A and B are shown apart, each in its own frame.
Chain A
Amino acid sequence: MKTVILAPLDPVHDNAVKLLQRKLTEAGYGAIALPPGVTAEEVIERALTEKPAAILVSRTLGYKVAETLSGLVDLADAAGLRPHTRLGVGGMAVTREIGAELGFDGVFNGDLNMPAVIAFIENRPIEMATADTAPARIKPDLTAGYSYRFIDPLIEGLLDQITSQLLDWVKAKSSPGTKRAQLREAMLAEPETSTEKSRLQEQYLQQCDLEIQSFYREGSLPDGVRWLDQGELERLPGLTAALPQSLSVRHVGERPLIFTQYGTGCPVMDAVHIKVAEAWGADGLLHFDPSWGAQREGLLDGLLSHEHDGTILTLDNLRLIRSAIAPHLLWNVRGHRGLNTPETQVLAQAAGADLLKINIPYGATGGATDPARLAVDGVYSLQLAARYGLPFDIPGNDELSGVPPYKTFAGLLVMTMLGLKLGARPIPKPLMCYSPYMMVEGCMEDNFIDMNTAKLRVWSEIIDAPIWPGEPVGFMTHTPDRVQSAMTTAAHVALAKNLGAAAVTMASSDEAYSKGPISAQARVDTLRAARELLRFMGSAGFSPTPAADRLQVQLHAGIRQQLQLIAKRGDFVAAIYEGLLGSPEDGLHPGRTGRGTVQE
């Protein structure tokens, strides 16, 4: 057993010494802690007796730091200790520069890093030791451990009825979106220069809007779009290399996984924002594309930068972004709405996405896509998700238009059952938010805990599935004040953790700022705030009032009632058109984009 002498060369402060003594003893070392106020002479005298592998001294007070510490180094030299005893120093008053200048073998700043301390005692390189002992980062599976067993048989029966009707309805139907997805898959299987690929591309263009055709045929770019240049592409890898380590937002436990959204418009800027999120502890990322891209038939191609929000969906853009994402991070490419929903799944899978995003009711209302069109494209997309073996998440953001949560959840459940029937793995995303419905109804006037608790807990009465509150958590509670914004996000993350969420999506502290792009520092704000609050909470929890139970009962009953209405209607697409999943009175209208494009 190696011996280490721990000495607080400080008249009062010895907390670090006590902590180190416990940690080193647990690690199997003989840790001798000397009392505060010990002199350099006394430390060396003890070292001559104990012959330790290392002397670790700490100093908190700034007064006479250099004089005190250099005295110890001189005495150790004079006593002939240095060949077999390493001298290390740490503490608030000691900088790396001072320690090195005074002749210490090692200097420790910041939080206690035990692998580094042990490496120092053992005379091993500290960086290597940290890397060796850091647990390998393994990409998590969000759906692992969930049985997808329905707990509420009434809801299960209704969903079976609704989804059977829908699957029957989409049979033998297609759209330009499903055709392009098929063509895109075929093109991806062809070599770049093959004549077959050119032939397929011509067929592809026949299914595209004129603006997209003109991009391929004449090279004309939409407004605000430019090609990335060679210099940018050559330099980017120098900034996006894998990080040796990153912070963790969580303090205890492995969940929730922390997701952030990006989509600055420029893949190069996205890559930088992704590295910022990775360094500050994000576990996953969601790709946001421009809303205009969802309104056009067909997707552009190549490496394209865009001056406005949302990064253009092309295979090259996605691959460039993927190259910046660390292998252990999860990556979701959204295709939950719009005319390119099936093709988005194809490109996402080809670029290496881990998760897809599909929601027919939301995309066909809040997402502005025609319900019939998105029903056809959405079911096709779920089939792709199943074939690719990729889980898909189901955002419930229609609540933001004013839809009551029981209607939104009815839609999430229909998508869950549809996914399961088609062999895919769904992840429902109930929104933790202060929605217009809640404001009007006054359901959250006292606190934000009860309703959000009811909204997450109700799922455990219906199905054993991973629940991922999004998107982002705390929607409509944010203001442009960065402290407030980071605080409310962190509070929602902590509540989600307390309620057993599998993952959460977090905004930046620029969530409510609308005059410009999200800044890198705003991304750090919320990750840092969540880390602090999760540290503060640890394994402790929130205490909802009895209202949470009452709201949960109401919500469950509302979901059942809504699903009964949808089942009774006997036509899921008609149910969307007629407002059973969100009506004009709620603030939702059936989408119009792509109307009349479904083909028998």
Chain B
Amino acid sequence: MGSARAQVADAIDIETFFICRDAEEAQRLALQLADELNLTDVSIVFLEHAGIGARVRLRSYVHRPGEHYGWLENATQA
């Protein structure tokens, strides 16, 4: 079986909730998590802190438009 990552159309989104003091800490944790998960081309799409923590969505682009796409390499030739 080939790489699952190669079959990602364009981006991986990861949503989570960090227990943390403020948005700044949440941002740091989000980027640290991306690093721990070996994600590349990462940005924080959304971050909202309230009360005891923050809801965060991280994005890692696997294929940006114009690049060569893994899923196309794996596609059956018509």
Contact = CB atoms under 8 A, between A and B. Distances in A.
A517 B69 contact: no
B11 to A, nearest CB: 4
A239 B75 CA distance: 7
B38 to A, nearest CB: 19
B59 interface: yes
Contacts of B59: 516, 519
A232 B63 CA distance: 14
Interface in A236-272: 236-239, 241, 264-266, 268-269, 272
Contacts of B48: 481
Contacts of B72: 231-232, 235-236, 239, 268
A521 B64 contact: no
A462 interface: no
Interface residues of A, number: 34
A517 B78 contact: no
A265 B66 contact: yes
Contacts of A238: 75-78
A231 B11 CA distance: 22
Nearest to B68: A232
Interface string B28-43: 0000000000000001
A226 interface: yes
A287 to B, nearest CB: 14
Indicate the member of B13, B59, B66 with the most A CB atoms within 10 Å: B66
B46 A480 contact: yes
Given A268-B72, A481-B46, A306 B65 contact: yes
A597 B29 CA distance: 55
A326 to B, nearest CB: 16
A237 B78 contact: yes
B61 A276 contact: no
A266 B13 contact: no
A307 B13 contact: no
Contacts of B13: 519, 521
B77 A516 contact: no
A519 B57 CA distance: 13
A21 to B, nearest CB: 42
B10 interface: yes
A513 B13 CA distance: 13
A305 B66 CA distance: 5
B43 A515 contact: yes
Nearest to B78: A237
B76 A305 contact: no
B15 to A, nearest CB: 8
A125 interface: no
Contact of B65 (A231, A276, A307, A481): A307
B45 interface: yes
B6 interface: no
A61 to B, nearest CB: 31
A444 interface: no
B66 A519 contact: no
Given A264-B65, A481-B48, A517-B64, A269 B10 contact: yes
B64 A307 contact: yes
Contacts of A521: 9, 11, 13
B28 to A, nearest CB: 18
A231 B69 CA distance: 11
Contact of B66 (A234, A306, A479): A306
Contacts of A510: 45
Contact of B61 (A239, A265, A516): A516
Given A481-B46, A481-B48, A520-B9, A235 B65 contact: no
Contact of A516 (B64, B66, B76): B64
Nearest to A267: B65
Contacts of A520: 9-11
A145 interface: no
A519 B10 contact: yes
A224 B66 contact: yes
Contacts of A265: 65-66
B61 A269 contact: no
Contacts of A517: 10-11, 61, 64-65
Interface of B: 9-11, 13, 43, 45-46, 48, 57, 59, 61, 63-66, 68-69, 71-73, 75-78
Nearest 8 Cβ contacts at the A-B interface: A237-B78, A264-B65, A266-B65, A307-B66, A520-B9, A519-B11, A265-B65, A480-B46
10 contacts: A234-B78, A238-B76, A239-B72, A266-B66, A269-B10, A269-B63, A269-B66, A272-B9, A276-B9, A481-B48
